[in-house]
Amino acid sequence: MRLENKIALVTAAASGMGRAGVIRFAQEGARVAAVDIDQAALDAVVKEVADAGGNAVAIRADLTKDEDCHRIVDDTVEAFGGLDLLWNHVGHPGPSAVEDIDPDDYEIAMDLNVRSVFMTSGRAIPQLRKRGGGSILFTASIAGLIGSPFSPVYSAAKWGVNGMMASLAGRLANDNIRVNSVCPGVVDTPMLNVFMARPDQETDRDTNLAMMRKLTPLGREAQPEEIANAALFLLSDEASYITGVALPVDGGFVSK
């Protein structure tokens, strides 16, 4: 198994790609701390893992709060005795407005995409060092590689995530800690509907989705498991010489 004896923490774990990651990592032998604000959905994921013979615990947290970002690391260490792999997956689409932006909308997007990830990573690093190294993965986006005209705050935040990733890759290499990010394109999760149907967009969800499919060389959106597979690879020892990489998992979207 590819994650045997590893202890993993996944945020935004109750839905979409995070949920797929918890299930996939547990299949590969990891003990997984699944973190989310949605307790009921989290319990369902953990039960699914247990029913399949895996080992996961649910940790409820509101990752807009610094104390929760710290506590999830402490709770993981308490549950499993350490931490090897951290997938900072939580994020927020943010508003599409610029001229008349609501500061609260700006703040929650920056908090969930950048601040929470910074806080969680900071708490996790000493734990990874204690284990002799480890692997940190961020979820950025194609919007963190190119500019999304529909999501200016989100683009700013995800470029920030990739900047943080690159900085930490250099900073932590001597600690045997690898740091990378996945940059998903269009992925079939509840969040996709937010991106495709913002109130101030002129065209409707189906039109927007059709346009995104047309702009994607593979011609379709990803399933969450396809991103989880990339996350599994980057977190695993199979990627032992890969650090500082922002990997598009986007059906070719940014290749054109």
Burial of 60 (0-12, 13-18, 19+ CB in 10 A): middle
**Which CB atom, from 62 or from 237, has the smaller least distance to ligand NAD?**
62
**3-state SS record for 68-131:** HHHHHHHHHHHHHCCCCEEEECCCCCCCCCCCCCCHHHHHHHHHHHHHHHHHHHHHHHHHHHHC
Sign of CA dihedral 171, 173, 176, 180: positive
Tokens of 116: 């929470």
Of the residues 25, 87, 106, 154, only one is catalytic, namely: 154
The reply to whether 154 belongs to the active site is yes
Q: Is residue 52 classed as helix, strand or coil in its secondary structure?
A: coil
By CB under 6 A, name the one of 127, 135, 139, 243 that touches ligand NAD: 139
Binding status of residue 192 toward ligand NAD by CB under 6 A: yes
By CB under 6 A, name the one of 36, 96, 110, 134 that touches ligand NAD: 36
Stretch that binds ligand NAD, among 26-34, 57-65, 96-104, 202-210 (CB under 6 A): 57-65
**Which CB atom, from 15 or from 176, has the smaller least distance to ligand NAD?**
15
Binding status of residue 189 toward ligand NAD by CB under 6 A: yes
> Known catalytic residues?
154
Binding site for ligand NAD (CB under 6 A): 12, 14-18, 36-38, 41, 61-64, 89-91, 112, 139, 141, 184, 186-187, 189-192
